[in-house]
Structure 1
Amino acid sequence: MELRDAILLLHPAIAVIVVFPLIGIVVNRALQTRQRRLETKATGKSKITPVAGQEHVQLGRYLTGGVVGIVLIALAYAIFSKIVDKNIWTKTPFQVIFIGLLFAATLASLILLYQTRERNWRAIFATLTGMGLVVLGCQDGVYRKTNQWYISHYYYGLIAALLMIFSLAILPEIYKDKKNRWRKVHIALNCIALLIFLGLGITGTLSLLEIPLTWQESYVNMLYKQKCDTKPCIIQAPSFPQKP
């Protein structure tokens, strides 16, 4: 396996090792926090420790960074692989520089979103981060599968990242709102995000089958180029080189 293949597998590896276990913990802490709030409201006390709420917030912040981070890794691999394969650096260097600056600006906006506490600046940095992901996702080389968007790993991942960014941006407002309107918005959107994460697990497995490793590319491309005019469709298997 070449270095390029290892980088390709970095995105699913981080998702399996870090992001999805983190999702389970965040959901667990969210349920504990809500249960404690309901018990306290009903009886004035609860067996669930108050630390559950703090852990939910902190781990949720980590989750946002993890989701946006692996999306940026996937986009970077797809875009710069295209740049290298098509030798775009020598043809349009300005485009490559612009893409590099866009990656840096998106990451900087996310970091600043974590740091700022003022509402307007949070809205600005959240918007800039989301716009950066959308623009990067529109670049050549990204496997979008737009004609089948309903099973597209790209669109599921982009929506999940945008929801996570929005949840991070409204976090201080949840504790300021005495009518719990922002809390209800947070719960509703993250229930949708949870369903999207489930879809990401399915579509991600599909993408692993559809995006070949380096040594498989020539054979996969050969299969796609073969025409099939008869029914049932018969595709000739490529001949693999014999080991010496």
Structure 2
Amino acid sequence: MALKDIILLLHPVIAVTVVFPLMGIVINRALQVRQRRLETVSTGKSKIPPIAGQEHVQLGRWLTGAVVGIVLIALAYAIFSNVFDHQVWLKSSFRVVFIVLLFAATIGSTILLYQAKAKDQNWRGVFATLTGMGLVILGCQDGVYRLTNKWYMSHYYYGITAALLMIFSLAILPEIYKDKTNVWRKIHIAANFLALLLFFGLGMTGTLSLLEIPLTWQKGYINQLYQKQCDANNCLITNPILPDKL
């Protein structure tokens, strides 16, 4: 495989080895926290240690960072592959500079969101909004495989929506402990339940995307198909010459 293909696989590799295992642990801690709360209310004590809540919060913060990170990696690969393949910097250097600055601003907003203190409610809202806007605007750039005509099975739309929900959950985290009515807690649970469903969808659509996005040596033959040089009756595509070493 070429270096470009290895970079392409960074996104699914990190998702499988980091994000999904981390998500399983976060769900486990969330169930423990709920079970402890119910047992405490009914009997006044619980066998589940109080540290389960702290672990749930900390691991949830890591999960949000990991999700935002792999989304940025996927977008960076798609966007800059298009930039280099079509020499966009020669046609519109301002656009390339804008994209680079937008990546920097999105990463910076994410870091500042993590650094914002519990009492800085307005700043958390600002940084969460800027991070989400950065992901959405980057996702609208050329080169990103969005599959808009089939949005209901698009890995891009599932991933962006899940990332936005995770960012929102991180931003409202301090409000959960301030609110005595449990309204924010219920919103947190609903948002993360929806994100969980999207993660299941991401597992399926991600597998589909790996089949649809060709590796470097395959692109020439795939392009011939899109150029309609091959049909069911008369195929003009030559057999691919495989490299000596894969």
- Aligned equivalent of 1:121: 123
- Aligned equivalent of 2:10: 10
- The RMSD of aligned alpha carbons is 1.5
1:224 to partner: Cα distance: 2.9
- Aligned partners of 1:30 and 1:235: how far apart in 2? 58
- Aligned equivalent of 2:91: 91
- Aligned partners of 2:195 and 2:13: how far apart in 1? 20
Aligned residue type for 1:55: E
Contact 1:226/1:235, CA 8 A, preserved across alignment: no
| 1:28-74 alpha-carbon deviations (Å, 9 max, x no partner) | 00000000000000000111111111100000000000000000000
TM-score, L = length of structure 2: 0.94
- Aligned partners of 2:47 and 2:221: how far apart in 1? 60
- Aligned equivalent of 1:220: 222
Show structure 2 runs of 5+ residues with no match.
none
Deviates more, 1:47-56 or 1:233-242: 233-242
1:240 to partner: Cα distance: 2.1
Q: 2:198 aligns with which of 186, 190, 196?
A: 196
Matched, 1:166 2:165: no
- Aligned partners of 1:53 and 1:107: how far apart in 2? 28
- Aligned partners of 1:242 and 1:82: how far apart in 2? 24
How many matched pairs? Answer: 241
Matched, 1:152 2:154: yes
Show structure 1 runs of 5+ residues with no match.
none
| 1:93-115 alpha-carbon deviations (Å, 9 max, x no partner) | 11100100000000000000000
- Aligned equivalent of 1:43: 43
Contact 2:155/2:202, CA 8 A, preserved across alignment: yes
Aligned residue type for 2:19: V
1:242 to partner: Cα distance: 7.1
| 1:115-157 alpha-carbon deviations (Å, 9 max, x no partner) | 0120000000000000000000000000000000000000000
**Relative to structure 1, is the Cα distance of residues 243 and 66 closer, same or farther in structure 2, using a 3 angstrom cutoff?**
closer
Q: Which runs of 4+ in 1 moved over 3 A?
A: 233-238
SS at match of 1:48: coil
Aligned residue type for 1:109: S
**Relative to structure 1, is the Cα distance of residues 98 and 243 closer, same or farther in structure 2, using a 3 angstrom cutoff?**
closer
Contact 2:224/2:230, CA 8 A, preserved across alignment: no
- Aligned equivalent of 1:131: 133
SS at match of 2:142: coil
| 1:198-240 alpha-carbon deviations (Å, 9 max, x no partner) | 00000000000000000111111222333677xxx45736412
- Aligned equivalent of 1:29: 29
Matched, 1:63 2:59: no
**Relative to structure 1, is the Cα distance of residues 69 and 121 closer, same or farther in structure 2, using a 3 angstrom cutoff?**
same
- Aligned equivalent of 2:208: 206
TM-score, L = length of structure 1: 0.95
Contact 1:64/1:165, CA 8 A, preserved across alignment: yes
- Aligned partners of 2:238 and 2:219: how far apart in 1? 12
Aligned residue type for 1:160: A
Q: Within 5 A, what are the aligned runs for 1:103-118?
A: 103-117=103-117, 118=120
Aligned residue type for 1:65: G
What's the % identity of the aligned pairs? 71
Aligned residue type for 2:83: I
